[in-house]
Structure 1
Amino acid sequence: MSADTQLEQVKKLLQPLLTDDIFLVDMKIKPTNNFKIFLDADSGLGIEKCIRINRALYKIMEEMAIYPEGDFSLEVSSPGLGEPLKLNRQYIKNIGRDVEVTLNDGTVQEGKLLAATEEQIEIEFTEGKGKKAEIKKLEIPMADIKHTKVLIKF
């Protein structure tokens, strides 16, 4: 069974477990049948939700004997703070937060995420300092974005 087939099979089993506002961001499989499942939720994804889904999915996979020898493992987590946003739903969830957008040409633009659609995002940033400071808005087409990361400020 190819890695893609295995991922599709596990994705089908996972779907009914994604209740409320939980959604799949990404899924990877290592040659050792180690599944890494990255989930997120519009209201935030707590560790309890990850544990619940991990246990439920593990039980289903065990009962279906997908790996008769039991030689598989599951890791269910949120993508992590340093990971780039992958889905439009993640952009929407992070409206109001500061982001760093790296464009395909290597240009980096920081600002507050104001809006997001499937086609583009809009950010707001300050240009200049002191009395010359000017708040500007910039619309960036999704096609021009290499990746976007949420900036964590302390």
Structure 2
Amino acid sequence: MSGVKTEAIGHVVEPVLAAAGYDLEEIVVLTPPGRRDIRVVVDRDGGAHLDALADLSRELDAALEATDLMGEQPYDLEVTTPGIGRPLTLPRHWRRNQGRSAKIEYTDDGKSTSVVARIGSLDGDAVTLVKADKGRLRTIELNLDDVQRAVVEVDFRRPGEAELRACGLDDDEIARRRAPADADPADTDPADTDSDN
């Protein structure tokens, strides 16, 4: 399958995604011997949970099946959200990851530097980063044009309320982020879902 095929898949699925309120982040087509795997990476404000992704997978599968694009050979369709380690390249990526820990490499007065900090509020093309340093909070204002690379990191510590508030999160989101992981299954991070054809 060539890049043209991936682009053609995008033309079929993008209207379905837009109608459901999702952005298409990436399409990956893998062709291990004897099969085809299609991964559609999507995102939206507020994230997406397992049930929503399962519904979306069925809609995308129906849209693909309504065309002759995929031909007769079976394929596996996976609909997923961006995971840890995916680069933050667009303003919406920063907005949707507000409050999360990220490693950011950027240019500061002509020098390359890096920081691990929480993503704060986004204002146009500038983002506020919140760095907890020895019990104190420090903010860094950063223009997105100065970012060389940024990725969300696995966060092994539960942030304090003051740290999340400094990121610009509202009370409901702060309560959700501070709740124990097993408090409510509906509040877990987005999950992947597969649809076999």
Taking structure 1 as the reference length, what is the TM-score of the superposition?
Answer: 0.77
**Map of 1:102-117 to 2, 5 A cutoff?**
102-103=105-106, 107-116=113-122
Distance in 1 (CA, whole Å) between partners of 2:124 and 2:151 is 14
**Cα contact 2:27–2:39 (8 A) shared by 1:** yes
Question: What's the counterpart of residue 130 of structure 2?
Answer: 124
Matched to 1:94, the amino acid is N
The sequence identity of aligned pairs, in percent, is: 18
**Cα contact 1:124–1:138 (8 A) shared by 2:** no
Measured at CA, do residues 151 and 142 of structure 1 come closer, stay the same or move farther in structure 2, by a change above 3 Å?
farther
Distance in 2 (CA, whole Å) between partners of 1:69 and 1:62 is 10
Distance in 2 (CA, whole Å) between partners of 1:148 and 1:118 is 20
Give the Å deviation of 1:90: 1.9
Q: Which of 77, 93, 101 lines up with 1:74 in the alignment?
A: 77
CA-to-partner distance for each residue in 1:118-139, whole Å, 9 max, x for gaps? 6442212245x46xx5624231
Q: Which of 88, 98, 101 lines up with 1:85 in the alignment?
A: 88
Distance in 2 (CA, whole Å) between partners of 1:135 and 1:143 is 19
Q: Which of 38, 60, 65 lines up with 1:62 in the alignment?
A: 65
Q: Are residue 22 (structure 1) and residue 17 (structure 2) matched?
A: no
Structure 1 residues 28-37 or 104-113, which shifts more?
A: 104-113
Give the Å deviation of 1:15: 1.5
Give the Å deviation of 1:39: 0.9
Question: What's the counterpart of residue 175 of structure 2?
Answer: none
Unaligned runs of 5+ in 2: 159-197
Size of the alignment, in residue pairs? Answer: 150
Unaligned runs of 5+ in 1: none
Q: Which has the higher strand share?
A: 1
Measured at CA, do residues 111 and 70 of structure 1 come closer, stay the same or move farther in structure 2, by a change above 3 Å?
same
Taking structure 2 as the reference length, what is the TM-score of the superposition?
Answer: 0.62
Where relative contact order (Cα < 8 A, 6+ residues apart) is larger, the structure is: 2
Measured at CA, do residues 48 and 103 of structure 1 come closer, stay the same or move farther in structure 2, by a change above 3 Å?
same
Structure 1 residues 96-105 or 10-19, which shifts more?
A: 96-105
**Cα contact 1:22–1:45 (8 A) shared by 2:** no
Give the Å deviation of 1:12: 1.4
